[in-house]
A and B are shown apart, each in its own frame.
Chain A
């Protein structure tokens, strides 16, 4: 086998990231890489391209027994629930600044009049009507903050064709499983059409809310749990909504 050098490295790097080098050649390649760490980034990038192949197989569902077998190994080392929760709390605390900032940004964008209201006691109302969605989202966020639960919030950005056109959309998950879709700059849809939210689990889409973009911003409660969901998506459907999607998604997030 010829000695590893720059030219040979170039010649073999694709085979390396595909896992297609014989053992001896692979070790030689890795020795060269260790001696030239400046090339690691290039290999990482190429490896990311090769790694995409892992996402291409048709999805298969493993048996429930596999989960049991895997967890049997972990269970004996299970740590006490108290310390587990404490560690989660640590993580949430560490993340709280960033998450808090994100939620405050939502408040800033959405609540140009909320602070003026100063009626924290009234902030328990539920989001029920499209016209009141913005204010009531603020209420839930504020309420969560007051209860020092803001660190348990999470936002999920949606992507898709509308996002490519400049729209922004986030799912805001607030404590106690209150889930709201917050969107801005959505394009208008015809009067005989409406936007419909779908929560998809195991290939089954559940209708999870309707809203009508008005060119500004909208906040819509998601009516189904996303705890076991694979995807949250938005389609444009006939007015009144559909029992199942009839169009491609304009916004979606894979969970």
Chain B
């Protein structure tokens, strides 16, 4: 069994997805072990509650299990695909809640936060994550806030406009500038946007 585990360990995500498509539970377990933490972290950021985040992550992984054939390598990495499932289903859930928790205090909560500890392990564990955080740090707070309200809290641009009492054109403009600034961050370092 341990030998089999090692065999899965050396397979790329794309190969594991193909095996999952053929209902290989061990390949699915390997994929889960690689990406569950990132998926849960995103779910927790969106839902703000461990139980709700676990439900969302479970829901997303079950979709991975049942719909592995819908993965398209040309559209991005397996990890990005899994996170996009978490994100899309998270937005669906946030918008479907009858009593949405997304109130003004969540706007406050979504304000730019100080960066996490510079502890060594955190710095190393995921260089891609650090790069993304560095890129987000280059954004003016008003742009970052709008990206976070849209991406993590599931607000539409119209809702953001109402919440922040800004013209809709301003909201869309800040979305545009914010995303452009993130892209410029990577291009200025001759680095491709991670996918």
Contact = CB atoms under 8 A, between A and B. Distances in A.
A21 B58 CA distance: 25
B91 interface: yes
B84 to A, nearest CB: 6
Interface residues on B, range: 35 or more
A13 to B, nearest CB: 9
B121 A55 contact: no
Interface string A113-141: 00000000000000000000000000000
B148 A53 contact: yes
B42 A17 contact: no
Interface residues of A, number: 71
A50 B122 CA distance: 23
Nearest to B75: A44
B25 A227 contact: no
Given A58-B116, A59-B37, A203 B121 contact: yes
Given A51-B87, A57-B45, A252-B127, 11 more contacts: A14-B179, A48-B193, A49-B193, A54-B42, A55-B132, A59-B41, A62-B40, A62-B53, A84-B4, A173-B10, A205-B120
Interface of A: 11-12, 14-15, 17-22, 44-46, 48-63, 65-67, 69-71, 73-75, 77-79, 81, 84-85, 87-88, 91-92, 95, 152-154, 159-160, 173, 177, 198, 200, 203-205, 227, 230-231, 233, 244-245, 248-249, 252, 254
20 contacts: A11-B172, A14-B175, A15-B175, A20-B175, A49-B183, A55-B38, A58-B41, A59-B41, A59-B125, A62-B57, A67-B36, A73-B65, A77-B23, A87-B19, A87-B24, A159-B127, A205-B124, A231-B127, A244-B120, A245-B120
